[in-house]
Structure 1
Amino acid sequence: MSKFLLNLEDPGNPLLGPTLWGLQRWGMWQPKQGINRIIYNIVHLIAILFVLSQYVELWFIRSNMDMAMRNLSVTMLSTVCVIKAGTFIMWQEYWRSLVFYVSSTEKRQLRARELKANKIIQGYTKYSRKVTYFYWGLVAATVLTVILAPYGGYLSTSQSRKLLINATVLYPEILSSWAPFDKTQGAGYWTMALVQSSICFYGGGIVANYDSNAVVLMTFFAGQLDLLKLKCSSLFGDGNEDISYRVAVKRIRDCHQHHVLLVKYSKILNFLLSPVLFLYVIICSLMICASAVQLTTEGITTMQQVWIAEYLVALVAQLFLYCWHSNEVLYKSLGVDEGVYSSAWWSQGLRVRRCVALLGGQLSRRIVFTAGPFTMLTVATFIAILKGSYSYYTLLNNREE
């Protein structure tokens, strides 16, 4: 495993090596032309058609509340998956410009061989690896649970196995989707089982790689704000250093440009993520509510409870990762100007002090990621979504009673 993870590292992309590898394998980071691009897009098209079949099935089973809730909880997440893949491909050039900025910035900073700066870069890179691999593991566990849980429920007792062998009950269904043939037994069932298992792996890969890439980029901006704050605090040394006006202005200009670029590319990242996260925040509230209702429904088997619980944990973890790391970027952007005022600005002349004041004004601009035009991605938003989901859950339970 260590050898495999080491092979994911890319000297050309010090921070984004593993995430770019995953995006390439799942057909989102595509070549500009060639047969591979065509194959990837055909796979994405098949996934979109499968999601449409889930909505068709939902229409047919709309009178059965339990089946409809199970279908809806997965179908809505499938919708987000294909939207993530589609928007990533559609806005590929913006993603490429963002990745180029991140990688070129880090390589330039690492070449400078500044001890404190390198320590910050290595710190958030190591943290990014931990978050990426943890999230990949969580998504992989969720995918395996979704695939295996239906069979576990039927094979958990000898009576269930006997009923299944004698064909007195329907075969277990991995995902709820429509098919133009009999999918309840024989070759039709095994065909759908293969298709649905493949779609689970596809969707899991899309979610794992898209989300980990977004979170790592947020981590980059948080780390760069720490680096900028450090750079600002050491603008004039300890105050005893003899610094000419030209050198002082150059250092101030470098800090200013660093922050301007961070603001520019954070806006690009927010442009790429905001529509998707707006849809996800709305859907996530409903999915968490639907999963909670299913989990507390009487008569479900132990394996079904395991499946729903694992699915619910993955939903909450996915939302929490976005809100937590976005909150970190916002918090650090609000404090980066402290670096200017903790520097030895008092040791400089009036003209330099005026430039320092202008730099402080620039650094006071906050960097924040949003879910559409309505809400910021913060820990407070995460808590509000959980409260809203609980309210929907309470309302549904009261109606059932």
Structure 2
Amino acid sequence: MGEGGLRTAAVVLALALAGCAAEKPKPTPLVPLTAKIAGRQIWSARVDGIRMPLNLPVRDGAVTVAGADGTVMALDLQTGREQWRGQAGARLSAGVGTDGRWAAVVTVGSELVVLERGVRKWSARLDSSTITAPLVAGERVFVMGVDRIVHAFDAVDGRRLWSYSRTGEALTLAQPGVLVAYKDTLVVGQGASLVGIDPTKGSVRWETAITSPRGTNEVERLNDLIGPALRLGDLVCARAFQTAVGCVAANNATLKWSRLVGGLQALGGDADLLFGADASDRITAWRTPSGETAWTNETLLYRGLSGPAVAGRTVIFGDAEGQVHFLDRQTGEALLRQTTDGSAVIAPPVVVGTTVLVATRNGGIFAFRPE
């Protein structure tokens, strides 16, 4: 078996071990809630059941979504009306990235497919399976496989421009990684480090670790960064799998702060507060400038919480039963609860202005407006 095969086996091993964890306690029952703020669902749409991690990118007043069957479509952010629809031609393992013109997804057969307003323009074969949504920026399409190797393609014609890999990671996590733009730098997760890459050449500009490996074997030392990362001005904040959360100042490649805490899902927040749930779904709010704990909340333990998002005075989490929880961002108090289709919320909600977008395992796309 070659090096690529060994790395793929390592990724699969990591996922299998994660699945062997002790059975979780039953979800904390929800208590009746008298809404303390107004809010309503403004529209919903549906795609084929979502079996892959899904970003909900919004560009030019439209959100681009994808279903597991290969359908890709753009929906008007205000009404949910379909603007265009396309087909990748196969079931998907990752989606979707877009700059408003091109939309990129990856199939279960490791094929990168790029569409322009629903019309399939080109495709390229990848060297490994991919579950991190592609990033489309600067007329380039960036893709990171589960082996954490990064590839750049020309968005116009599909030419492979460069590839970047870093040796030394015995195991990588079969979960979406960090792939985000910061000004003229591509920021990617490699182990527990954020790496700044020149997007035109694929060369490394800087590297900063959020935490250090811990444990006596490679499984215990697994601490890949979990995507999507949170970009807050010059700060890029992320969670390292089951070990830490932290923020890096990308303008000077320095670690602002890091806190040891477990967890499996991405972070959310803004310049004042950062939010996340640990492996037991205990929610913590940290002060973004310092990492100091602001509050914790244990009312939603073991409910399978998604990553969070912030909207106005609220922080929002979805759960494994399709409930959407709006909490007071300053205290953690429950303010509002909205329902979807009863299936798990499979990605952090996305907030655009006053609209909150949520995607569920059964393929529901829901738009809410808290008031």
What TM-score do the two structures reach when normalised by structure 1?
0.20
Q: Which one has a larger percent helix, Structure 1 or Structure 2?
A: 1
What TM-score do the two structures reach when normalised by structure 2?
0.21
Considering Cα pairs closer than 8 Å and 6+ residues apart, tell me whether 1 or 2 has the greater RCO.
1
Q: Which one has a larger percent strand, Structure 1 or Structure 2?
A: 2
Structure number with larger C-alpha Rg: 1
